[in-house]
Chain A
Amino acid sequence: MIAALRAEWTKTRTAGGGAWLLAGAVAVTVALSAGIAAATHVSAHSGQEDPTKVALGGIYLGQAVVAVFAVLTISEEYGTGMIRVSLAAVPRRLVLLAAKAATTTALALAAGVLAVTGCLLVGRLMLPGAGLDPAHGYPLISLGDGPTLRAAIGSVCYLVLIGLLALGVATVVRDTAPAIAVVMGVLYLPPLLAQAFADPLRRHIEQIAPMTAGLAVQATATAHSEPIGPWAGLGVLTAWAATSLLLAALLLRRRDA
């Protein structure tokens, strides 16, 4: 297992795009958060806002880059035929998948910590300018605040779970383009579908969809209006990731490479 891990780490480290993608994930997350913060103007007429959630809005975009990174870790091996070499070197296929999952987890975790820290910093510095300041009843974003800490840790976990979900899907699909489309479809389409419906159907869709359920952990001031509780929502996403990895493990064992 140690050898398989080291092999995966070497592949990720040396095969060009990985480091750039993760750096890009951090950059686009923070950039989108900054853009949202710059475009936010809170007036007396707008309803209750959630500064932490607004500050973490960049995750909507950053998760896509993390997902692409995770998809590529295995789909590129299928694309180039490298997978046959990998499986010859590590004949126990589940060990190979586990090593890939561990590498993905570690790297998504690192990128997630950087991205979330950047988002919260941007929120703390920029959102008071948008009217989300103590004078209007919104405290400054601080990790000393329990719900904000929960949102920060939860968002990092969210990115890791998205990476694992994407890895599982890519192992099942084995081709980059459809795998990315499936992952992004699973993430982004249910919330769009939910917007077309009224409650209670909308709420049910948001409770079982990986993105809306998983991102409920970001809510602090408006937690009551989320479709699902913060940790329960992350649990739903964990179930999605686990199902996808389980299916991947089954198919990887059964199928010819």
Chain B
Amino acid sequence: MTTTTAPPAAAGTPERARFTAVLRAEWTKFRTVRGWVIAPVMAAVLCVLFTYLVANGTHTDYCTGTGDCTPGHAFVPTGPDGQAVADSYYTVGRQLTGDGTITTRITTLTGVTSTAPTSVAPSQARQTRPGLTPWAKAGILLRPSTRQGSAYAAVMATGGHGDRFQYNYGHDHAGRPGRAPRWLRLTRTGNTLAGYDSADGTTWTRIGTAHLAGLPATVHIGLFVTSPVSFRSSADGSRTLATATFDHTVISGHATPGAWRGQNIGAGEQDFYPTLRSGGYHRAGDSLVVSGSGDIAPAVVQGLLGANTAASSQPFGLTVALIVLIVVAAMFITAEYRRGLIRITFAAIPGRGRVLAAKAVVIGAVAFVIAAVAAAASIPLGEHVLHANGAYVFPAGALTVVRIIAGTAALSAITAIAVLAVGAITRKSAAAVAGGILVFVLPSLIGSLGSGGAVTWLYRLSPAAGLSVLQALPRSALVDYPYTFGNGYYPLAPWAGLGVLAAWAALALAIAAVVLRRRDA
């Protein structure tokens, strides 16, 4: 029997220690420190508690033109897809049964803008100056009924966006550019509606078609004019009114006989959308002159409603939870340096990068789960309390809520990992904790100084961009609105913002990995 030399297993095995074993070691370290287990649970509880307090402290009053204020909110129509919509306009029309075609010519489209902002009561803001807003609309409208928020399709001339075919508040097709005069035509064939425009009334171009499911046999058809709030000259917005002259209006199909009927839709005191004054119409020879104020578009003018969304009560509670998680993440590595445990850790697992990776996985997973649970509990709670207090809550789809919960969890996990990496680089907790907290609290405080420019850049470039995942208010290209941070809009898209934070975390992790390898423990 020959003796064989044993391979140098003693030196090789720990080096090759399976990553799961390293992970288990780090998880054991984490769960056996009582404070590190209690603190994240406390973080979740604090998040829910503060979300409740903030939501409960939010009250909105709804004031009528006469100055009486009562708890509650103005009426906001809900569109076919469950979104909040503006649906205010003036229409002159009748009923159409079965298929048909409406043709008209718009000879002029003009507008006026109030000199007072929307914060001034309409009765005290009668003065106007000429000015047509780009999204002032005049054209042909077809819808099952004039109930606000119901389905529709419309072909229109606009103040600055050319001819358009739009339906159900978010769908838009561009036609011929330029302004009036122009010819417009809307056809109904079953549930299919098509919009056409023409320069001369003989050569027609189709702009787009829409299929409105469940359209009844008899529908409302009519000419309409509306003109949205303009934010050109005032941050609060100014009411506007547009006036259009229609002629050569022809309906083919089974329209109700008799006179045209004028209707002001969504311009009452209880309606949220600011309108300059009641629209109207009159005949001038063969022409029909129609004026209207309002908008048919997605609702984004949230300054008039308060900025409450499903997630709007959550940021403060989330900040508190993040601070707690930041402290735990920093101590998860700096405590090892302080007590000298790091030398034993590196003796047991010489692959230092794997130790860092295992720590990142453990703290990231803990932060992810804690934040997911906290967000999943606090978002519905906050929304419920806001509703109960009579506040208007911008409707958010289930997908948006899921995105905010997942985004909150990812934001917390990435933040914890970044703080861990900074702790590994500095070996002391001071910089990791102070830096981690400052990133999330400073932008909103500088914002209160009134320097909107500085804040916008912080939310673009700094790790605070990760907070963009909390964005719940919708944007729309069909509404001219200052989509600024002050109005509740982060400058970056949710996942792009999270990407900026992730890039910072990756940078910190890379530096930490290099530094750990190079230097003595």
What residues of chain B lie closer than 8 Å to A184, measured between beta carbons?
323, 433-434, 437-438, 441
- Evaluate whether A61 and B449 lie within 8 angstroms (CB atoms) in the complex, with A181-B326, A196-B313, A197-B57 already known: no
The answer to whether A57 and B449 touch across the interface, beta carbons within 8 angstroms, is: yes
State the Cβ distance, B404 to closest chain A Cβ, in Å: 17
CA distance A181 to B42 in the complex (A): 15
Q: Categorize the interface residue count of chain A.
A: 35 or more
What residues of chain A lie closer than 8 Å to B313, measured between beta carbons?
196
One of A2-10, A45-53, A92-100, A154-162 contacting the partner: A45-53
- For residue A39, CB closer than 8 A to chain B, the reply is yes
- Taking a contact as CB atoms closer than 8 A, the residue among A36, A49, A65, A192 that contacts B446 in the complex is A36
State the Cβ distance, B229 to closest chain A Cβ, in Å: 16
- Evaluate whether A64 and B454 lie within 8 angstroms (CB atoms) in the complex, with A79-B338, A197-B58 already known: no
- For residue A103, CB closer than 8 A to chain B, the reply is no
One of A118-126, A172-180, A235-243, A246-254 contacting the partner: A172-180
CA distance A36 to B450 in the complex (A): 10
The answer to whether B438 and A64 touch across the interface, beta carbons within 8 angstroms, is: yes
- Say whether chain A's binding surface is mostly helix, strand, loop, or mixed: helix
Residue of B nearest to A44 (CB): B233
- Evaluate whether A39 and B457 lie within 8 angstroms (CB atoms) in the complex, with A72-B430, A191-B448 already known: yes
CA distance A193 to B450 in the complex (A): 18
What residues of chain A lie closer than 8 Å to B449, measured between beta carbons?
36, 53-54, 57, 60
- For residue B179, CB closer than 8 A to chain A, the reply is no
- Evaluate whether A181 and B451 lie within 8 angstroms (CB atoms) in the complex, with A45-B234, A192-B441, A201-B57 already known: no
State the Cβ distance, A189 to closest chain B Cβ, in Å: 7
CA distance A192 to B327 in the complex (A): 19
- For residue B483, CB closer than 8 A to chain A, the reply is no
- For residue A41, CB closer than 8 A to chain B, the reply is yes
- For residue B320, CB closer than 8 A to chain A, the reply is yes
The answer to whether A177 and B457 touch across the interface, beta carbons within 8 angstroms, is: no
12 A-B residue pairings within 8 Å (CB atoms): A32-B446, A39-B457, A60-B445, A67-B434, A177-B330, A184-B434, A188-B437, A191-B445, A192-B444, A193-B50, A193-B54, A196-B316
The interface of chain B, by Cβ under 8 A from chain A, is 50, 54, 57-59, 233-235, 313, 315-316, 319-320, 323-324, 326-327, 330-331, 334, 338, 428-434, 437-438, 441-442, 444-446, 448-454, 457
Q: 14 new A-B pairs (CB below 8 Å) besides A64-B438, A198-B59? A: A36-B446, A36-B451, A36-B454, A45-B234, A49-B450, A53-B449, A176-B334, A177-B330, A184-B323, A184-B434, A191-B445, A196-B313, A197-B57, A198-B58
The interface of chain A, by Cβ under 8 A from chain B, is 32, 35-36, 38-41, 45-47, 49, 53-54, 57, 60-61, 64-65, 67-68, 71-72, 79, 176-178, 180-181, 184-185, 188-189, 191-193, 195-198, 201
